[in-house]
A and B are shown apart, each in its own frame.
Chain A
Amino acid sequence: MCEDRIVAALDVRGVRAAEWDQLEEKATVVYKPKKISEERIQQLVADAGHDTDLYTATDEVYNGLADCCLYRSGCQGCSDREKHLEHDQDDDRR
């Protein structure tokens, strides 16, 4: 869900590729600096509801996100997910 929105927000001229890593909460963006600035990219992500180093999403947009995408509050799913992944790796060693 989050990925869809972030990738769609970065579907603009100058951005060659955009990927969203849910586990790392990290977006990787490949862009052409002549056509788009880093600030603009950060602004686009913030406009989609996700705070970045430079910009903060408006509360209006942020509150419209699905629960699991509410990174600001350290969304409930995230901590569980990390624990779970550790647990999974234990299983593998069994």
Chain B
Amino acid sequence: MPRSISLVLAVAAGLLILPVSAQKAVTVKGKVFSKDQVDHSGHDHAPSEGREEENWLPLPGAYVVWKSTGQGTATDSHGFFRLDGVEGDTLVASFIGMTTVELPFIGQTYVEIPLGEGFQLNEAQVVAKGPTTSVSLLDPLVVQSLGRDELCRAACCNLSEAFETNAAVDASFTDAVTGTKQIRMLGLDGKYTQIMFDNQPGARGLNILQGMKFIPGEWVDQIHIGKGAGSVTLGHESMTGQINVSLRDADIQDKLIVNGFLNRAGRFELNTVSRHAVSRKWKTALLTHGEWADRINDRNSDGFQDNALSKDVVLRSEWEYTGDRGMRGEYAVTAVTQEKESGQLPLLDAGTNGLWMADQAVNRVVATAKTGYVFPGDDGRSLGSQLTLGNHDQTLSFGPYRSYIADQQFARLNLLHQMKTGRGDDLVVGLSAKADRYDQALIQDGTFPVPGGIATVRREEATVGAFAEWTVKREQWDVILGLRSDVHDTFGVFVTPRLNARWSVSDAISLKAAAGKGWRTSVPLAEFAGVWASNRSWIFPESGSVDPFRGLQPEESWNLGLNLLSKFTLGYRDASFNLDGYRVDFSNRVFVDLDTPGEATIRQGRSQSRSAQAEFWWDWTKRLDITLAYRWVDASSDYDPDGFDGYGGYRKDPFVAQHRGFATVAYGSRPDAKGRQWRADVTFQVTGPQRLPWTFENDLVDPRYVRPSEAPTFVTGNVQISRDFSEGQQIYVGVENVTDYRQAEPIVGIDYDTAPGEVQTVSGGPIGDDALFDAAIVYAPIFGRNVYAGVRWAFGR
């Protein structure tokens, strides 16, 4: 019997604003199909003429899992499945001998996933335009997921630049010399955010500042930003939150993706991601990155390069195993080699001391192995292991007299056993062990550790721990209770409890709470890398001792947070509003005090951060969506626990803006029949005043050494226009820092009154001899407007 579909038509008179409407269902149901290769007699329609025969049959026994958690199910005898959904995650459907399909889940109630060889997968993209960043109403964790589309909204050459269009994470330059960017969350340094690559330790130890830089944007599939106390199963090091970056792997749709990028500053990048089938059970992906920057830029004519010359090569080979009986494995090796050179231009006769140069070299190799086993027939029970082994060597040399040579060997093993309890709740128990060995040598003019000499300090630490996490999921609420206990070979036992809870006030409003502890041991010289771009002398808690780090205690903090998320329709179109507040209280924090001229004093003590953020997103029209956000932070640390100096105990943390406003607009033209589309993205940020390290005492030497105590408010913006030719084929052109805001006189110790092209030091002598020279008081961009263009091309879909 012929049937027609029904149309429900609602009339919009102008921009009518509707009250909050119900949200879509939480469970995703769907069906997996395979191409009918043998028999299509079951179909009651004849294949159409002149067209390739395409019959799709339900596929029983296919795996459908969530990409982020690996949890999932198998399709039943009709090819159907049903899974509890988290918006923003990706469904991965697979079947032995067929292509694996990934489907971004944006809250659809029903999805159809076709598997097959050579199928046009762009048909599987259920919705062409959806939110590129999403937070779930149902996940008790506050996790913001950034998909590929979000990453493609800005230049995003590497991970440290991927947060330009995100309000929750700030990215700022560490100094005026190296071009290193570091992130901040909840007003605290990136080192307090646990950064994971594919759920394995990413940026930590010596790699903590640079780690993000070694992941090119093109390698990234999704970024999950978790605010507040996260899961204990990943470790104890998350103090402000967790960022998990899931990298592209052998499951990409295209056989080869090539990305080329060039910017006005002369940085050229070439990235590739390719997949290769090896056998029925093995497949592999090769990810490559090459970067060259060999143009010297000095736009502010201060005689110092605005950004570093660099040569980077990063390679990653990933192997995936899918066994017939529930065995899964992912094995990868990543190698990094980087050389960076920046500093003073050879304009002057540098005399006997030479120019003030900053050179960095990094060599790094990491191997990771993830193996999982899903018990057959036993619903939801699985075993997993994660192993990481690595070596990181780096040599930093700053100015004529100082260098830092360090290497780190590290190993980490995490074993997880996941099961269902009687009422269907999830229980994960596990064991973990990690060990780090650092060999650090510091050459600092005349003070450490032996005056004028070199000595290597070895530090070895090992931690073993056990954890359990219990997830209770109900219709209206969820609770995740986690507890871990770790034993550190020097510092003893640490207990890390964490609680995350969700309560759905209504279908469209959910309230989440998080409380938890975190702790880590710090690696000061590597963590405060920005300070190296100065002639400050490091002052250690136990200066003069053989091991100057000996007095440092682990950093420990409590994190409490509340989050309100509401999704509704505004003018018949989707919108969301998110309000959150977090507080982080450190019982001990290791930080660097830059308030004394010529010194970088490593301190430890109490510290706190309070932050609140409001974010509004609206899919305004079919073509346009907007995000508006405001964030308030108040972060301060105790500089004077014993009350010795007269400046008072708590001081605001430097380089943290108390107020920050943020607006983005994304435009997409109507895709034509071939999927061709124009897109435009505009992001503007207002950064409020930031406290700067004190320089008023420099007045005793020369008034030109003094900088303001507070940075001015400034506005920066990014604009990008891209053209999609079809799925996976794109060119883009953009402008970073479109307002061309540049920090005035970023380097202390240079006479900015001299004629351009001629460097004069304030003191008149070589910069290397000037103890007050400082290129690390950087609160805003140095380079100014920067135009870039790139191409992204996929082959062999």
Contacts and interface: CB of A to CB of B under 8 A. Distances in A.
A29 B8 CA distance: 6
Given A1-B112, A25-B5, A51-B5, A66 B78 contact: no
Given A4-B125, A53-B4, A29 B9 contact: yes
Contacts of A68: 31, 33, 56, 112
Interface in A13-34: 15-17, 21-33
Given A16-B572, A67-B56, A4 B44 contact: no
B123 A66 contact: yes
Interface stretch (B10-18, B197-205, B332-340, B590-598): B10-18
Contacts of B126: 1, 3-4
Given A16-B572, A76-B43, A64 B48 contact: yes
Contacts of B43: 67, 76
Contact of A26 (B5, B76, B621): B5
Contact of A67 (B3, B55, B125): B55
B542 interface: no
Given A23-B110, A68-B56, A84 B7 contact: no
B295 interface: no
Nearest to B33: A68
B4 A28 contact: no
A32 B14 contact: yes
A38 B784 CA distance: 52
B573 interface: yes
B12 A28 contact: no
B8 A26 contact: yes
Given A30-B572, A80-B78, A73 B44 contact: yes
Interface in B572-587: 572-573
Contacts of B7: 26-27, 29, 41-42, 45, 52-53
Nearest to A50: B5
B670 interface: yes
Contacts of A80: 58, 78, 80
B58 A77 contact: yes
Given A11-B670, A76-B43, A88 B29 contact: yes
Nearest to A69: B112
Contacts of A72: 2-4
A52 B5 contact: yes
A8 B128 CA distance: 8
B462 to A, nearest CB: 46
A21 B5 CA distance: 10
B792 interface: no
A72 B6 CA distance: 12
A77 B31 contact: yes
A11 B127 CA distance: 12
A25 B573 contact: no
Interface residues of B, number: 49
Contacts of A71: 3-5
Interface in B15-62: 29, 31, 33, 42-45, 48, 51, 54-56, 58
Give the most central of B13, B80, B571, B621: most A CB within 10 Å. B80
Interface in A57-72: 63-64, 66-68, 70-72
Contact of B6 (A27, A63, A66, A81): A27
Contact of B12 (A30, A56, A70): A30
A23 B4 contact: no
B766 to A, nearest CB: 65
B4 A50 contact: yes
Contacts of B51: 63-64
Nearest to B123: A1
Interface in B285-318: none
A45 B5 contact: yes
A84 B55 contact: no
B84 to A, nearest CB: 11
Contacts of B80: 80-81, 84
B45 A11 contact: no
B459 interface: no
A86 to B, nearest CB: 12
B56 A27 contact: no
A24 B24 CA distance: 14
B700 interface: no
A38 B5 CA distance: 15
Contacts of B10: 28-31
B4 A26 contact: no
Nearest to A4: B126
Contact of A70 (B4, B6, B9, B45): B45
A46 to B, nearest CB: 9
Interface in B74-126: 76, 78, 80, 82, 108-110, 112, 114, 123-126
Contact of A74 (B1, B112, B573): B1
A7 B9 contact: no
A52 B4 contact: yes
A64 B47 CA distance: 10
A27 B58 contact: no
Contacts of A56: 4
A46 B188 CA distance: 56
A22 to B, nearest CB: 4
A32 B622 CA distance: 14
Interface in A80-94: 80-81, 84-85, 88
B671 interface: yes
A72 B606 CA distance: 70
Contacts of A15: 622
A15 B571 CA distance: 12
A73 B44 CA distance: 9
A41 B33 CA distance: 31
B45 A33 contact: no
Give the most central of B3, B56, B108, B621: most A CB within 10 Å. B3
A3 B127 CA distance: 7
A15 B126 CA distance: 20
Contacts of B78: 80, 84
Nearest to A21: B109
B459 to A, nearest CB: 54
Nearest to A12: B670
Contacts of A53: 4, 6-7
A41 B6 CA distance: 12
A31 B9 contact: yes
B108 to A, nearest CB: 8
B618 to A, nearest CB: 12
Given A27-B8, A68-B33, A4 B127 contact: yes
Interface of A: 1, 3-4, 7-8, 11, 15-17, 21-33, 38, 41-42, 45, 50-53, 56, 63-64, 66-68, 70-74, 76-77, 80-81, 84-85, 88
Given A17-B572, A31-B12, A51-B5, 12 more contacts: A3-B127, A11-B622, A16-B622, A27-B8, A28-B9, A28-B10, A29-B9, A30-B12, A32-B12, A64-B48, A68-B33, A72-B2
11 contacts: A17-B572, A22-B112, A26-B7, A27-B5, A29-B8, A29-B10, A30-B9, A30-B572, A45-B5, A51-B5, A74-B1
Interface of B: 1-14, 29, 31, 33, 42-45, 48, 51, 54-56, 58, 76, 78, 80, 82, 108-110, 112, 114, 123-128, 571-573, 621-622, 670-671
Cβ-closest 5 pairs across A and B: A51-B4, A63-B48, A30-B572, A22-B110, A17-B572
